Amino acid sequence: MSASDDIWILGINMTKFGKHPDKDIVDLGAEAMMAALADGGVTMGDMGILAAGNLMGGGGVGQQLQKQVGQTGIPVYNVSNACATGATALRTAIMAVKAGECDMGIAVGVEKLAGAGLLGGGGTPKKDEKVWEPSGRFGAVANPDGVIGTNTMPGVFAQIGMEYGHKYGGTSFELFAKISEKNHSHSTLNPLAAYSKEMSLEQIMGDMMIAYPNTRPMCSANCDGAAAAVVVNGAKLRTLSKEQQRRAVKVRASVLTTDPWEEACQVLPDVNTLTKNASAQAYESAGVGPDDLDLVELHDCFATAELVHYDNLRLCEEGGAVDFFESGATWRNGATPVNVSGGLQSKGHPISATGIANIWEVCHHVRGEAGDRQIEGAQVGLAHVIGLGSACGVHILEKSGL
């Protein structure tokens, strides 16, 4: 074992996203792990660390997964970091390998969410006697959700998009719906997406309003799914077969940030500053710039969120996200294809799997294995996730030159 600065994805997999009523989280996570190991041509016996991400399953999923796929006594890290959980698990495995604790590790993210409905909203507890009694950090006498703003995710992210519109102008209900139209169109080429139907602008705008300007198809789809990735250091990789070396994908940058204090960040979550910081760090450590990216998978948990991240990831000039989108740049035949997988709005968003599944998508393209939806000649791609609260993961991945 030796510490090595170059880190590679050796094997990676995502399950089909959607409804899996016949499988529990252990079945789904194990399916992704077994497939990622097979993809890399290795077994659990080669792994020196397991990082397992899951939010809704009650804890300890890593050990349950070991019992399912192979118990070797290696350290397990169960991680939880909101919607950035998958990226955090991957980064945990990368850090262990980079630190020289082991040559190879595996990260997995798994979630079962089908039918979970609206996330983030609270309920009002029923009492026999009605007494206004202050409680909680704000001394609230009643649940403030819906009275002092909204806690629902579609509503929070709607405000994030609208705030961008207030600052720079040019946004409208139709503009945000067009972003969703793009992602739904992209999803038709992705057999692993939860929803892969083309939707017209009219259908999207005419669908059920959830939180203006986000209608139902403009919101990420709650679903079940898992994704897993095997990471290896460069020294070890060079001892493996030519085929393994050729298919390995180089991790040019792996960054995780939280939001530094900014005025208003505790009033409306600030998903901008930490994404700007993460992308700046990632571009610097990778030695690549936004112009070098052949594709981007970014966290479009809502159509309103995708717009602000064009700017945060420096895909466009500051304040220029609307014009950038209107230019057609982010369609799969544009200059910077964004969310060619269909994004969270159609591929689906099984929370903890998302931050590895987006890396799988980029790997698929730079390996030249993306079939019908292959971005021709893709060499470098970026994957981004945001977990509200907040945490941001950015990974930059590059085709193997070995």
Residue numbers at the binding site for another protein (CB under 8 A):
118, 121-124, 129-132, 134, 137-152, 154-156, 158-160, 162-163, 165-166, 173, 208-214, 261, 263-264, 266-268
CB of 152 to another protein, least distance (A): 6
* Cβ closest to another protein, residue 150 vs residue 400: 150
Residue 63 CB burial class (10 angstroms; 0-12, 13-18, ≥19): middle
- Determine the longest span between alpha carbons in the chain, in angstroms: 73
Which residue number, 129 or 243, has a Cβ lying nearer to another protein? 129
Could you tell me the smallest distance in angstroms from the CB atom of residue 205 to another protein?
12
CB closer to another protein, 40 vs 154: 154
Question: How far apart are CB 138 and another protein at their closest, in Å?
Answer: 4
Choose between 211 and 380: whose C-beta lies nearer to another protein: 211
For another protein, give the closer residue by CB, 21 or 169: 169
* Listed residue (336, 333, 362, 361) closest to 348, CA to CA: 361
Rg over alpha carbons for the chain, rounded to the nearest Å, is: 21
Query: CA–CA separation, 258 vs 135, rounded Å?
Result: 28
Q: Do 395 and 285 form a contact (C-beta atoms < 8 A)?
A: no
Least Å from the CB of residue 258 to another protein: 11
How far apart, in whole angstroms, are the C-alpha atoms of residue 39 and residue 29?
A: 15
**CA–CA separation, 282 vs 293, rounded Å?**
12
CB of 307 to another protein, least distance (A): 13
DSSP three-state, residue 302: strand
Q: Closer to another protein by CB, 170 or 334: give it.
A: 170
Q: What are phi and psi of 15, to 5 degrees?
A: -80, 170
Complex with another protein: residue 282 or 303, whichever CB lies closer:
303
- Answer for the pair 226, 32: CB distance below 8 angstroms, yes or no: yes
Structure token pair of residue 199: 């939707």
Closest to 164 in 3D by CA, of 313, 305, 325, 324: 305
Token digits of residue 195: 């929803």
User: Measured from the CB of residue 56, what is the shortest distance to another protein in angstroms?
Assistant: 17
Q: Is the peptide bond before 241 cis (omega within 30 degrees of 0)?
A: no
By beta-carbon proximity to another protein, the closer residue of 79 and 160 is 160
State how far the Cα of 112 lies from the Cα of 22, in Å rounded to an integer. Answer: 11
| Residue closer to another protein, measured from CB, 22 or 261 | 261
What is the distance, to the nearest Å, from the Cα of residue 233 to the centroid of all Cα atoms in its chain?
Answer: 23
| Smallest separation, CB 154 to another protein (Å) | 7
The minimum distance between CB 285 and another protein, in angstroms, equals: 27
Give residue 375's Cα distance to chain centre: 20
- Least separation in angstroms between residue 309's CB and another protein is 17
Cβ distance to another protein smaller for residue 262 or 369 = 262
Q: Phi and psi dihedrals of 158, rounded to 5?
A: -60, -45
Query: Cα 67–21–14 angle (5° rounding)?
Result: 60
What CA–CA distance (Å, rounded) separates 281 from 290? 12
Minimum distance between the CB of residue 167 and another protein, rounded to whole angstroms?
A: 8
